[in-house]
Structure 1
Amino acid sequence: MTKYLFEANYVGEGIKGLMREGGTKRRDALTDALKSVGGSLECFYYAFGDTDVLGVFEVPDDASAAALSLMINSTGNVKVHLKPLMSVEDIDEAAKKTPSYRAPGQ
């Protein structure tokens, strides 16, 4: 399973829907969407400032995360951004690899 940090902002009718339904129902809607692709919600928080809502979820693969992002963003009511999360062990493995690379101009 892959974990993702999500950050989202409600837009237009999405703001009105949040005010009408409340935060719990929006969290439940995300939980249901995640279940539909075999995922689960780890945490969900509302904030104010540049980001309305953020949290962490797990899904089986990148395609499932992309499908969710496309579906949610296609509504026009919420704009969501996903960031894949890596464990410290993932970084340890990455540090052991030695890819070949030539910098521009060298």
Structure 2
Amino acid sequence: MTKYLFEANYVDEGIKGLMREGGTKRRDAVVEALKSVGGSLECFYYAFGDTDVLGVFDIPDQASAAALSLMINSTGAVNLMLKPLMTPEDIDEAVKKTPAYRAPGQ
């Protein structure tokens, strides 16, 4: 399972739906959506400012994460952004690798 940080903003009808349903029902909808692709919710928070809602979930593979993101964003009620999260051990493995790369102009 990969952990993802999610950040979302309610748009237009999404804001109206949140006002009608409340926060816990929207969180429950996220839990059900995650279950439908074999994932689970670790944490879920509302905020104000640049982001309306954020949290962390586990999801089994990138295709499932992409499918979930596409479905949610296709509603037009929410703008969802996902960021895969890496552990310190993942970085330890990354720094052991030596990819080939040429910087622009070099």
3-state SS in 1 of match to 2:70: helix
Structure 1 gaps of 5+ residues are none
Q: Distance between the aligned counterparts of 2:66 and 2:76, measured in 1? A: 16
Residue 82 (structure 2) pairs with residue 95 (structure 1): no
Normalising by the residue count of structure 1, what TM-score does the alignment of the two structures yield? Answer: 0.99
Cα RMSD after superposing both structures: 0.4
Deviation at 1:67, TM superposition (A): 0.3
Structure 2 gaps of 5+ residues are none
Number of aligned residue pairs: 106
Partner residue, 1:74:
74
3-state SS in 1 of match to 2:38: coil
Normalising by the residue count of structure 2, what TM-score does the alignment of the two structures yield? Answer: 0.99
Alignment of 1:1-106 (within 5 A): 1-106=1-106
Percent identity for Structure 1 against Structure 2: 86
3-state SS in 2 of match to 1:105: coil
